[in-house]
Amino acid sequence: MKNERVIILCVTPANTDITTSDSLYLAREVDKEGNRTLGVLTKIDIVDRGTDIKKVLTGEELPLKLGYHGIVNRSKLDMQNKVSITDALNNEKMFFADHPIYSTMDQSLFSTTALITKLRSLFYNLLQKNVPDIAIEIQGQVSEIQEKL
């Protein structure tokens, strides 16, 4: 996590107090400004009735430059009933589309599929930014080894 070239994927259950999250605490120790940390909130579907995590998702509680993303995990019952991954992903999308609060928010903040898209973009940008420096470092190491040989 200390490596400046990595994205910190900070996974935390949404049904707990986000301000006391161990993963966010550890991420903050190495990424004080939250520049490289993406918060992933799981189990949104089992958050207590009458509460929501809108303030967390919008960065009002603990801001992160990469933001937060909400997902719904497959339940144990889904797995026992052999609900396919495709059906589970569709159920997840429907949960957010039908939710009284989350349906009014930017849908790119929700679902496993949208998270994959976001991670793909983040990693691509990270690679584009860092590959030239990494190539220079590797060339330097190759030169050092060749001198030793």
CA dist., res. 124 & res. 138, Å (int)? 20
Q: What is the pTM assigned to this prediction?
A: 0.84
pLDDT tens digits, one per residue of 31-52: 988 899 999 999 999 888 777 7
Per-residue pLDDT, 103: 94
Cβ pair 28, 58 in contact under 8 A: no
Instruction: Check whether 17 has a pLDDT greater than 80.
Output: yes
Contact 6, 125 (CB under 8 A): no
Q: pLDDT band for 20, please (50, 70, 90 cuts).
A: confident
